[in-house]
Amino acid sequence: MLESRPEDRDLDERLDELIPLSAGPIKTLVASAAVVGAAIASTVLIMGGYLYPRPTFGSSFSSGSFLEVGPARNAVSATVMMPNNSSRSVRITDIAFDGPGADVVDVGVILDPPYETQTSDVGVESSVATPILPRNQAAMPLPIVVPAGRTATVVVWFRPTDCIDKPGPWGLVDATVDFGDGAFPPFSNTVSLHQDPVAFIDLDGNADNGGESMMMQDADGSMREISGPLAGACEALR
């Protein structure tokens, strides 16, 4: 290693004032490893959703496959899934719905039941069926806590103000989430479910719901195909 001439007593001191000599490999290693360790710990906390709510990180999810007419025929509901894949419970405090040509009447959240299995007498494991309730009965008002590992289904009731579906994505949802009152850290986050609109409308005004045609469930439980969410809603509420 290059060092100053031994005959110059002040030189080392002068150099040290300009730029300090390295602390030595062991001290440097320990200090640097501590910094990198802190970065790793922070990353683990971030990825686990402990530092700020990020329930949908690293997950794929989908919209509900059909619209549903409310029992009083005053609104139509659409759904978007929001899985909580983080390691911490999050609370949904607000939902913003971007669906041109529709007025939002109400929003709610259905907390999907935890996955349960049962083992038969012969040792075969199967999932436990849970009853499916109509959306207006199952959906709960905001705010609602979504435990880690569970999936929330965001339900938006709307009334159409226009009956013509325009090309492009329709039914984009932003969910505002936090850790709850008094929780630490007190950060909130807006989770965009933008990659998952309720429907994509093609240039002919037809809905493409993930490669499938779009369906409408009427108040009596019957299903029928619709061309788009606005046209279908207008027809159903007429």
Residue 192: CB atoms within 10 A of its CB come to 13
Tokens of 236: 């159903």
Restricting to residues 53-72, name those near another protein by CB under 8 A: 57-58
The reply to whether 25 sits near another protein by the rule CB under 8 A is: yes
Residue 39 touches another protein, criterion: CB under 8 A: yes
Residue 22 CB-density burial (10 A; 0-12 exposed, 13-18 middle, 19+ buried): exposed
- Helix or strand holding residue 145 (H, E): strand 144-146
Among 6, 7, 9, 26, binds another protein (CB under 8 A): 26
- Tell which positions 155-214 bind another protein, by CB under 8 A: none
Rounded to whole angstroms, how far apart are CA atoms 148 and 84? Answer: 6
Minimum distance from residue 28 beta carbon to another protein (Å):
4
Burial class (CB in 10 A: 0-12, 13-18, 19+), 23: exposed
Which residue, 1 or 72, is less far from another protein as judged by CB? 1
Least distance CB 19 / another protein (angstroms):
5
List 9, 35, 131, 132, residue binding another protein (CB under 8 A): 35
- CB of 22 or CB of 137, closer to another protein: 22
CA gap 105, 126 in Å, rounded:
39
DSSP structure class, residue 110: E
> Count of residues binding another protein (CB under 8 A)?
32
β 66-69/214-217 pair status: parallel
- Which 8-state DSSP code applies to residue 63? B
Name the segment binding another protein (CB under 8 A); options: 10-18, 119-127, 202-210, 230-238.
Answer: 10-18
Instruction: Compare residues 50 and 134 and give the one whose CB is closer to another protein.
Output: 50
Q: Which residue has the tokens 């039941």?
A: 113
Closest CB to another protein among residues 17, 220? 17
**Where does this chain bind another protein (CB under 8 A)?**
1-4, 11, 13-15, 17-22, 25-26, 28-29, 32-33, 35-36, 38-40, 42-44, 46-47, 57-58
